Amino acid sequence: MGLVQKLLTDPRIEALVKPELAVRSLLMRSRSASFATRLFWDGFDRPAYAYGVYQAAMQARMLGIGAISVAELGVASGDGLVALERIAGEVEDVTGTEIAVYGFDTGTGMPPPRDNRDLPYAWRESFYGMDEAALRARLRRSELVIGDVAETAPAFAAADRPPLGWAAVDVDYHSSTVATFPIFDADESRLLPRTLLHFDDVIGDERELHSPFAGQLAAIEGFNRSREQRKLAKVHALRHKRIVDAPWHDQLFVLHCFDHSRYGDYVYDAERELPA
Ligand SMILES: C[S@@+](CC[C@H](N)C(=O)[O-])C[C@H]1O[C@@H](n2cnc3c(N)ncnc32)[C@H](O)[C@@H]1O
């Protein structure tokens, strides 16, 4: 590969074309930038986690709910869960909302695929193994729930804990994603009126080729088809509100619980009137 070709395919060159990426990268390494500044510029290694957990904690605060749960469904070696713990601590500090952190995984990597909707051309049994002891040693505050989500999700849905405000759904398969849905069918006391969700496996690389007929997108479509009062929907035009364009804008969904008794409760400080 020639020098020019090498330069042009270096990911760092992107920061020259899109200066906001250079700002983001500086803020990711900053020790002094505020949470608000980093949130604005996506200055986190998991900006979707920071955005979602913060929005959930703010929703809870405006509703007078003192504590929420957040969860990573699909943990693997644990980098996401460790990042989530860090973000939860920062969000607690800036919002005053207490946050209980949970992580769910088989502990032994991907189970066998059920059928072609699990996209076995992209994922295989036992991918993403976990060294459970090593991960537990890294964790500071999470509850790690080991087992198939087909068994652990119904138990979590019914468990006595703060309402779920945010979750990363990162179990890859269609079948595993469907198995998490009891959490979203839970009693309203276990959910915020609008729980924010990050569905990781709706984009992927060029060979994953996601469509609404398989994988997580099909699971989401199936959820919406079979429920009247609960719907999973992307935040319309989210990217217009963000300074750094990023794939997570298309991975962020909200579970709207239209049957939640607090769905219509006002979530702003003051009246939203236009200036006279
Ligand atoms: C891509 S990895 C998760 C990566 C992690 N979220 C991160 O960002 O660091 C997917 C994980 O989902 C887990 N998984 C898939 N199906 C599952 C199921 N039915 N029950 C529990 N865990 C499952 C696998 O064990 C695997 O570790």
CA angle (160, 161, 162) in 5-degree steps: 140
Please say if the pLDDT value at position 131 is more than 70: yes
Identify which of 72, 151, 171 to mutate to test ligand 1's pocket (most ligand atoms within 8 A of the CB).
171
Report which ligand 1 atom has the smallest distance to the Cα of 80. 9
Please say if the pLDDT value at position 168 is more than 80: yes
Q: Could you please report the per-residue DSSP string of 151-205?
A: HHHHHHHHSSSPPEEEEEE---SHHHHHHTGGGTTS-GGGEEEEEEEEEGGGS--
Residue-averaged pLDDT of the chain: 96
For 195-236, write each residue's pLDDT tens digit: 999 999 999 999 999 999 999 999 999 999 999 999 999 999
Three-state DSSP state, 100: strand
Q: Which residues line ligand 1 (CB under 6 A)?
A: 72, 74-76, 79-80, 104-106, 109-111, 128, 148-150, 168, 170-173, 176, 179
> Which whole-number Å values give the CA distances from 110 to 106, 129, 143, 192, in the listed order?
7, 8, 20, 29
Strands 143-146 and 98-105: parallel
Looking up tokens 């989401």 gives 220
pTM (2 decimals)?
0.95
269 Cα–ligand 1 center, Å: 39
Nearest Cα residue to atom 27 of ligand 1? 76
Torsion, Cα 82 88 93 95, to 10 degrees, reads: 160
Report residue 130: phi and psi, to 5°: -130, 135
What is the rounded average pLDDT of the residues 156-165?
98
Give just the sign of the alpha carbon dihedral 256, 157, 227, 122: positive
Query: Residue 1 has what pLDDT?
Result: 66
Reported as a pLDDT band with limits 50, 70 and 90, residue 126 is very high
What is the rounded average pLDDT of the residues 45-63?
98
For 170-202, write each residue's pLDDT tens digit: 999 999 999 999 999 999 999 999 999 999 999
Please say if the pLDDT value at position 275 is more than 80: no
In 3D space, the residue among 144, 203, 155 whose CA is nearest the CA of residue 179 turns out to be 155
